[in-house]
């Protein structure tokens, strides 16, 4: 069985605070529950991560940045929820940052499991707007670079590649990777969206607003194999943002729910055909349907890859 990582504390519930941002912070639980309801997993099948420590975070973040997170005003800006500046730092650490540190642990665990089993999915993480010394767009900690660096430092990953198909540019991940020659990012994003300043990347694919599903899938089909065959990474971290869905309020792509699920399956299949381990993280998705779209994508992947087969017949 493909390892699926989840912890009930992924879900951010801070006295209604979570409803002030379009992000559905309970979507992790909804996906977990739906995987059980659909008969894909039982309650005890999910792996539980441990939260990352400050020492872990210092592999990627500056001490100055981590210290700044004790100021509610700094967090209010990163989380895009102004009322946060009025809340005590201890409460924010407990109810907002704690769940995020747990999800960072989930991304590291997903990468470890991927190296062992070929494929693993973290039902959280993907905070791709966080860099070493700054955060933004609801992203505080750079979980993807942290996971890559952890395994690189252990000598288990020589070359890491991120495939970021969230609708927004992964500017945080890209910023960290600029000083790491062993890490590469392939990033298909909507040109006119947040962030205004785009970071330089190895494989940037900026596309115009309104791109439809067939065109989008064709770009993935054409460009991703070339990038993978050029870089030949030992680990692929797939940032599977669902905000490319046509109903997403924060982006302008026009993919149907089925096309988003098809995208997820194609990415994983293209990588597994090359024997590249894949760790998938969820990242953005702001419609009320986001949890269902992620679940459909994961269902397609589990249906094809569960059962000990590294490549199933297509
Ligand atoms: Zn996004």
Instruction: Please count the residues of the chain.
Output: 314
Tell me, in angstroms, the distance from the centre of ligand 1 to residue 260's CA: 14
Which range, of 11-25, 62-76, 226-240, averages the lowest pLDDT?
11-25
Averaged over 246-255, what is the pLDDT? Answer: 92
Over 50: is that where the pLDDT of 314 sits? Answer: no
Tell me, in angstroms, the distance from the centre of ligand 1 to residue 155's CA: 31
Note the pLDDT of residue 309: 44
Percent of the chain at pLDDT above 90? 84
Token pair of 60, please? 């990627």
Q: What's the chain's average pLDDT?
A: 94
The per-residue pLDDT for range 170-205, each reduced to its tens digit, is 999 999 999 999 999 999 999 999 999 999 999 999
129 tagged catalytic? yes
Provide the whole-model pTM.
Answer: 0.95
pLDDT band of 83, cuts 50, 70, 90 = confident
Over 90: is that where the pLDDT of 299 sits? Answer: yes
Q: How far apart are CA 302 and CA 1, in angstroms?
A: 8
Tell me, in angstroms, the distance from the centre of ligand 1 to residue 44's CA: 31
End-to-end Cα spacing for the chain: 19
Tell me, in angstroms, the distance from the centre of ligand 1 to residue 66's CA: 23
What domains, with CATH codes, occur in the chain?
A: 4-305 (3.40.800.20)
Residue 32: CB atoms within 10 Å: 23
The per-residue pLDDT for range 52-80, each reduced to its tens digit, is 999 999 999 999 999 999 999 999 999 88
Residue 313: CB atoms within 10 Å: 5
Residue 54: CB atoms within 10 Å: 11
Over 60: is that where the pLDDT of 312 sits? Answer: no
Percent of the chain at pLDDT above 70? 95
Note the pLDDT of residue 80: 85
Contact call for residues 161 and 186 (beta carbons, < 8 A):
yes
Neighbours of ion ligand 1 (CB under 5 A): 166-168, 241, 243, 284
Among the listed residues 128, 129, 152, 168, the single catalytic one is: 129
* DSSP category for residue 7: -
Note the pLDDT of residue 24: 73
Note the pLDDT of residue 82: 86
Tell me, in angstroms, the distance from the centre of ligand 1 to residue 284's CA: 4
Tell me, in angstroms, the distance from the centre of ligand 1 to residue 115's CA: 26
Contact call for residues 162 and 111 (beta carbons, < 8 A):
no
Tell me, in angstroms, the distance from the centre of ligand 1 to residue 142's CA: 14
Tell me, in angstroms, the distance from the centre of ligand 1 to residue 8's CA: 23
Averaged over 33-46, what is the pLDDT? Answer: 97
Over 70: is that where the pLDDT of 14 sits? Answer: no
Tell me, in angstroms, the distance from the centre of ligand 1 to residue 243's CA: 6
Tell me, in angstroms, the distance from the centre of ligand 1 to residue 78's CA: 14
Which range, of 130-139, 182-191, 243-252, averages the lowest pLDDT?
243-252
């Amino acid at each position: 069985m493909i390892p699926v990582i989840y912890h009930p504390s992924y879900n951010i519930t801070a006295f209604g605070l979570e409803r002030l941002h379009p992000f559905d912070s309970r979507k992790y639980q909804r996906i977990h529950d739906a995987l059980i309801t659909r008969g894909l997993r039982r309650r005890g099948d999910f792996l539980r991560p441990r939260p990352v420590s400050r020492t872990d975070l210092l592999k990627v973040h500056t001490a100055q940045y981590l210290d700044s997170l004790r100021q509610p005003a700094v967090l209010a800006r990163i989380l895009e929820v102004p009322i946060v500046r009025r809340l005590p730092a201890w409460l924010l650490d407990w109810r907002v940052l704690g769940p995020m540190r747990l999800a960072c642990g989930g991304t590291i665990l997903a990468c470890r499991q991927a190296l062992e089993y070929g494929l693993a999915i973290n039902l959280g993480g993907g905070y791709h707007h966080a860099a070493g010394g700054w955060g933004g767009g609801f992203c505080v900690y750079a979980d993807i670079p942290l996971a890559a660096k952890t395994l690189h430092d252990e000598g288990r990953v020589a070359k890491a590649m991120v495939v970021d198909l969230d609708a927004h540019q992964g500017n945080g991940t890209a910023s960290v990777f600029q000083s790491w020659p062993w890490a590469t990012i392939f990033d298909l994003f909507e040109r006119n969206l947040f962030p205004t300043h785009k970071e330089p990347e190895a494989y940037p694919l900026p596309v115009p607003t309104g791109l439809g599903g067939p065109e989008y899938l064709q770009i993935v089909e054409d460009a991703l194999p070339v990038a993978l065959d050029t870089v030949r990474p030992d680990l692929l971290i797939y940032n599977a943002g669902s905000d490319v869905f046509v109903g997403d309020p924060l982006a302008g792509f026009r993919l149907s729910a089925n096309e988003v699920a098809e995208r997820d399956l194609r990415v994983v299949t293209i990588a597994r055909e090359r024997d590249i381990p894949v760790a998938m993280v969820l990242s953005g998705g702001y419609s009320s349907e986001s949890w269902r779209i992620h679940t459909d994508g994961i269902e397609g992947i589990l249906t094809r890859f569960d059962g000990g087969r590294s490549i199933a017949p297509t």
